[in-house]
Amino acid sequence: MQLYSFFNSSTSYRVRIALAIKGIDVDYFGVDLRAGAHREQSFKAQNPAGGVPMLIDNQGNALGQSLAIMDYLECLHPEPSLFPAEPLLRARVLELANLVACDMHPLNNLRVRNYLANELALSDEQQQSWIRHWTAEGLSAAETLLNRYGFGDYCFGDSPTLADCCLVPQVANGIRTNCDLTPYPRVMAVYHHCQQQPAFQQAAPARQPDYQ
């Protein structure tokens, strides 16, 4: 399989964590978002949404959207699973994963930040305020959910799930953009625990071939 990824892309990072947890090897192709490689016609022909990650499976099928890719990997390689078996706990995992993937990430995505800067001419300070606001909204909700329903060293238990795959890269974004993360001790405890685990280390931005 081939993974099209950008080292600093949090959605790519999610998939890299899932691949590492499952021990799946892929051929890695760096897509330089800063140079706009994801907007080129050749790339969009395979992934019309024009973003990373994109997976190409062993039959040559191209698949975009990190959650769809992780679900596909789960079906192809069920063990170790990224989902608890118990239905409500599985729903909790998806609740947290979707909080990150649907409510947080899109608001601070590159194309949105470019629009704020170029079309709306927001100052650097205003852009930073935007990022901090939406990061705080999302992580506050994550902190409450984890305090209410989380347990163990990971988000939900003693093994990693889709929730950890999504949360860790989003926290890394928060660190990279200098957000205050002190109000989220439970989120940060999960983050720091994951940082000690080989699968998460292997998936880290600095360990990718296109890291610069």
Ligand X SMILES: N[C@@H](CCC(=O)N[C@@H](CS)C(=O)NCC(=O)O)C(=O)O
Give residues in contact with ligand X (CB under 6 A).
9-11, 33, 38, 51-53, 65-67, 101, 109-111
Tell me the residue number closest to ligand X, measured at CB: 51
Name the residue nearer to ligand X (CB basis): 11 or 135.
Answer: 11
Q: Can you list the positions of beta strands (E) in the chain? A: 2-5, 27-30, 54-56, 62-64
Shortest distance in whole angstroms from residue 195 CB to ligand X: 19
* Residue 108: exposure state from Cβ atoms within 10 A (0-12, 13-18, ≥19): buried
How far apart CA 146 and CA 184 sit, in angstroms, is 10
Q: To 10 degrees, what angle do helices 10-22 and 162-176 make?
A: 140
Q: Which is nearer to ligand X, 41 or 196 (CB)?
A: 41
In the complex with ligand X, the residue whose CB is nearer, 5 or 193, is 5
Token pair for residue 29? 């192709």
CB 170 to ligand X: min, Å: 10
Nearer to ligand X, 62 or 110 (CB): 110
* Nearer to ligand X (CB atom), residue 30 or residue 193: 30
Question: Going by C-beta distance under 8 Å and a sequence separation of 6 or more, which residues neighbour residue 123?
Answer: none
Q: How far is the CB of 11 from ligand X (least distance, A)?
A: 4
Shortest distance (Å) from residue 4 CB to ligand X: 10
User: What is the distance, to the nearest Å, from the Cα of residue 207 to the centroid of all Cα atoms in its chain?
Assistant: 16
Q: How far is the CB of 177 from ligand X (least distance, A)?
A: 13
